[in-house]
Structure 1
């Protein structure tokens, strides 16, 4: 099946909410996401509208989706722009101009079809194309026990940076930072 990879549009907040809620119910969601399904489902519509609108603008964040021919979303990821003088979202403050991939989810029936590869290609290409000081790297974090995701990220070209942070909610576990440098 063919999929279109594209940025989210501001008026698609309900679909953005739906795929996020599905992703938060995935069996490894507790390892992959900082937010829980219970937290997300309680958020008001205005939260989803604002979040999707910001991701559609593509200034400090960009959400990409994989859309099937019937309009169903089968995958998504979000890219956050991190500049040295900017806000710390996760991990340490940016020491360089970089982007940070978060919120990666592909529906089980679309896994292994190239959707994740295409989403990551779009995210990296968008990162390199940003105006302003050039982006020096694209980074992400993966829970040390999320082997499936870690294997994909390595196959997609991400390499360990050597940095890690405590996993949210579990100080005995680590989130490993992976990166692609320009």
Structure 2
């Protein structure tokens, strides 16, 4: 990803925030994201492309971005998946698996031993998709701005 991709990053993020379950899937709102200046999107894109603490991966089909995941590594041996989105017409196939695999490879290079994520307790579709990818509920939960979030983790092959 390059700074020149900022408009595409913005467009995909706005699409994700317009999803019917965005209110339980994202901490951001469509209105807040639309109000951000263009430099915000350039900074966000550059940070995801050049940082050793965050990376954004995008799925593309026929030159159209159809999904994205961001992975964060702040400290320790755990990476956190956030901002996961796959266009509705592309769900149910291998796109999510490919995005998570790319995030996993990056996390392993950072020395991580597991991937973690938080999913809203009411987002059953996402929970099922993550279970298919080997994520398991840890029993940990937190109450955030959009409600109760359940923690799920998946050990990385390098940790097994």
CA contact (8 A) 1:82 1:97 kept: no
SS at match of 1:26: coil
2:152 equivalent to 1:178 = yes
Q: CA RMSD in A?
A: 1.1
Gaps of 5+ in 2: none
CA contact (8 A) 2:23 2:146 kept: no
Question: 1:104-143 alignment to 2 at 5 Å?
Answer: 104-130=84-110, 134-143=111-120
SS at match of 1:175: strand
Cα distance between partner residues in 2 of 1:31 and 1:161? 19
- The alignment covers a number of residue pairs equal to 156
Q: Counting helix residues as a fraction of each chain, which structure ranks higher?
A: 2
Question: 1:66-145 alignment to 2 at 5 Å?
Answer: 66-69=59-62, 71-83=63-75, 96-130=76-110, 134-145=111-122
Cα distance between partner residues in 2 of 1:141 and 1:169? 12
Q: What stretches of structure 1 move > 2 A for 4+ residues in a row?
A: none
Q: CA offsets per residue over residues 127-182 of structure 1, 9 Å max, x none?
A: 1122xxx2122110000000000000111111112211003144xxx100101123
Please give the TM-score of this superposition, normalised by the length of structure 1. Answer: 0.82
